Amino acid sequence: MSTTIEPLASAAALAASGLFSTYLVYETPDAWTVAGDIAAEVVLGPRTVRCTKGGVTVERPWQGDPLVEVREFLEGLELVDWRAYGWSAFELAYAVAGRPAGGEVLLHLFVPRTEVRLAGGLARLRSLDASGLDAVEKTLLELESEPRGRPGPVDVDIEAGADDYRASVGTVVERIHAGELQKAVISRVVPVESEIDFPASYAAGRRTNTPARSFLLDMGGMQSLGFSPETVVEVGADRRVASQPLAGTRALTGDADVDRKLGESLLSDPKELHEHAISVKVAVDELAGPCKPETVVVDEYMVIKERGSVQHLASKVVGRMPEDASPWDAFAAVFPAVTASGVPKHAAYESISACEERERGPYAGTVMTVAQDGSMDAALALRSAFRRNGETWLQAGAGIVERSLPEREVEETREKLRCVADCLVAHGDGRGAAVRESRLCV
């Protein structure tokens, strides 16, 4: 069907409509997709895997590589042209590495009953239920082109935990000087006391951010929205693989001259250049595993990408896997992103566990899609807001290397937190923000 409402507004409105008890909105460079309700589902926990298909749910223990369970479940689906959507926790990396992994959920994927793809003035609908198609079409036709209210800002104390974070930076620098590792990405949690309208906040935030991917989800008691600065892995149906490490950060002020000078300082700062270079080297080494080694190249090196309230040094590493490879081979090779963990990764895990008081869960994991044709797209879950078990929070980190200074790293987390904190909408204060008509974000 054709639509005059921009894809962002349509996607956010479908999420807010109540049509779906489970949903995930995922933006790629060419479209927004809304996946709603569950046709099949796999939920991987620290000790068990729960699989649902054909209306039957089975839960059993898993051993060894947990991704084998996920891959076998998806390959056994009797659905035509399926695509699964979901998220993975940072701690999934621990399970894949054979380390103890805590948390409630390590990975949650579902194949939707209804799928809506929004791009170029068209909405492409498909559903296992005729009633699902009718309900979506009716909702899209009834969308308003003008907002019904103005977003109400939410106060967020981005200084929460700053003193402890400074101490953590000092601890990691000491470990680096001792030769234990080269880099660790340490994060801090900022609580949000207000009740957040996630669809309205997503719409408001996407208008002020320039992400590589964006997402909005409500799955199994987890709500999240985010404006991902980079992809962890992209796999095409032709087995072409890409990873996009971003490391090195400066603020974006809105003043073109100031921002240009900050970008120039980013390109000349030895600390930032070192942090970025070692991240790219790790990405190359990791992709050389699942890919044909001669195909792995740095396709783009150390360019500046603007991501909301910050700018980053960015590179792109690409390769091609053999025909018999699975996208999960590429995922396992690069996950978690080196830009959200450290170098070497196992040593970084020790520093993360020592310095961070809680498990990360979805933070620094991925929001992802994977399809029957062998394609996969996994976005790094940063610049995000999360809600689970009655708690809402933001989280941001910085890459700590030998030259890191505690105050500068705290400021970097502030810069990243503002990408989300400045656009949060209190529940009930701006529901109409999700349906504003504009062509700017198509």
User: What pLDDT, in 10s, does the model give residues 373-386?
Assistant: 999 999 999 999 99
DSSP secondary structure, 140-195, as one string: HHT--SS-SS-PPB----TTTTHHHHHHHHHHHHHHHHTTS-SEEEEEEEEEE-SP
- In words, the CATH class of domain 7-435 is alpha beta
How far apart are alpha carbons 353 and 346 in whole angstroms? 11
Q: Which residues pair with 118 in a beta bridge?
A: 32, 123
Q: State pLDDT tens for residues 89-121.
A: 999 999 999 998 988 999 999 999 999 999 988
Confidence grade of residue 146 (pLDDT, cut at 50, 70, 90): very low
DSSP secondary structure, 302-349, as one string: EEEEEETTEEEEEEEEEEE--TT--HHHHHHHHPSPGGGSEESHHHHH
| pLDDT of residue 213 exceeding 50 | yes
Q: Enumerate the active-site residues.
A: 230
Between residues 310 and 151, which one has the greater pLDDT? 310
Helix or strand holding residue 221 (H, E): none
Q: State pLDDT tens for residues 44-74.
A: 999 999 999 989 999 999 999 999 999 999 9
Q: pTM of the prediction?
A: 0.92
Q: What is the pLDDT of residue 308?
A: 77
Are the beta carbons of 359 and 313 closer than 8 angstroms?
no
Across 265-282, average pLDDT:
91
Q: Taking the CA of residue 33 as centre, how many other CA atoms within 13 Å lie in the half-sphere pointing to its CB?
A: 18
Angle between helices 162-177 and 345-355 (to 10 degrees): 140
| pLDDT of residue 300 exceeding 50 | yes
Are the beta carbons of 365 and 336 closer than 8 angstroms?
yes
Prior bond to 147 cis, omega within 30? Answer: no
Phi-psi region of 104 (alpha: psi -120 to 50; beta: other; left: phi over 0): alpha
